[in-house]
Amino acid sequence: MNFRSGDLSGLAEQGMRLAPPDLSSGSPPRLPGTPRPWQEVISDAEAERIAADISRQGYGVLGQFASEQELERVRALIRASVDAAHGEYVDFRGPAALAGTILGDLPNSTAFKDLCRRLYELGTGRAAPEVNFHQVLRCLQGRAGQTRSWYFHYDSYVLTALLPVAIPSEGPRGDLLIIPNVRRIRRLYPTNLLDKFLIENRVSQAVLRSITRRRRFNAVSVELKPGNIYFFWGYRSIHTNEACDPDKLRATALFHYGNPHRDSRLRRLIQRRSAANRAPEAC
């Protein structure tokens, strides 16, 4: 069963509204509180279910992917870093700074890499490239955290996997907002840049905020639950996160995979020039 990039945009093009999805649907039965070992090989049937869910509702979920004990080890590291930053935004890039935690081990997990490879192939109909993740752990808190919310964008990578580590239990949670599958994978990098330019400006950002608040154009709001892992086509979907209270911690780990423009000379030139001014990576 293949879900090619041209086939996945149907629902978004129709402008249909979706009923609130069941986040636990499709997962095999488990005893309450029993985590899914992230080392576990995911069956082809479940990988196809995730790809179909991304097509149908904009994202797919694996429930009980990480245990509370595993996440708490990451939270301890986050709390120390946020305290050192006086309660403000921090981020971690790559697995090295997270060694000894699930986030340090997950990028090298054979089962996780194989799942992402299969999802890529189901979503694009193309042979998957080597699995090298662009990994970021974003810890929103304080005033700086507020400025990194409500920033609509496309990712540079085809597949985005999001693992919530800490989500506020009271007040605004910082829900994930997606307008799913609104563009195809671009053949040329300049076309991709034009797509980004059209939404990463003040007027478009205001329009997109209104659209998502009113749930127009198939916009979806996803309440994130720590321990689950969420997948969506980050390259093809406009997305961001809502803000949460500045005194509350919202931490999400992002694994980006499959850059269709990785060989572009123009891309490499722009990256070198903009390395000192990283754009916010919202979600």
Domain extent listing, the chain? 27-261
- In 3D, which of 101, 163, 166, 157 has the Cα closest to residue 133? 157
pLDDT at 24: 40
Are the C-beta atoms of 184 and 6 separated by less than 8 Å? yes
β-sheet with 250-257: strand ranges across: 60-62, 229-232, 159-166, 250-257, 134-140, 90-93
Burial of 77 (0-12, 13-18, 19+ CB in 10 A): buried
pLDDT at 281: 55
Phi and psi at residue 220, to the nearest 5°: -125, 135
Phi and psi at residue 253, to the nearest 5°: -100, 130
**The amino acid at 257:** Y
- Global confidence as pTM: 0.84
Q: Cβ of 19: how many Cβ atoms within 10 Å?
A: 6
Q: Cβ of 146: how many Cβ atoms within 10 Å?
A: 15
- In 3D, which of 191, 200, 199, 194 has the Cα closest to residue 260? 191
pLDDT at 136: 96
Q: CA-based diameter of the chain, in Å? A: 51
The rounded distance, in Å, linking the Cα atoms of 276 and 262 is 20
pLDDT in tens, the chain (283 residues): 444 434 333 333 333 333 334 434 444 555 555 556 688 889 999 999 999 999 999 999 999 899 999 999 999 999 999 999 988 899 999 999 899 999 999 999 999 999 999 999 999 999 999 999 999 999 988 777 788 899 999 999 999 999 999 999 988 899 999 999 999 999 999 999 999 999 999 999 999 999 998 888 889 999 999 999 999 999 999 999 999 888 899 999 999 999 999 888 888 888 777 665 554 555 6
pLDDT at 33: 53
The rounded distance, in Å, linking the Cα atoms of 78 and 74 is 6
CATH of domain 27-261: 2.60.120.620
Q: What is the DSSP letter of 41?
A: P
| Strand runs labelled E in 60-153 | 60-62, 90-93, 134-140
The rounded distance, in Å, linking the Cα atoms of 181 and 6 is 9
Token reading at 190:
């300049």
Token reading at 9:
């945009």
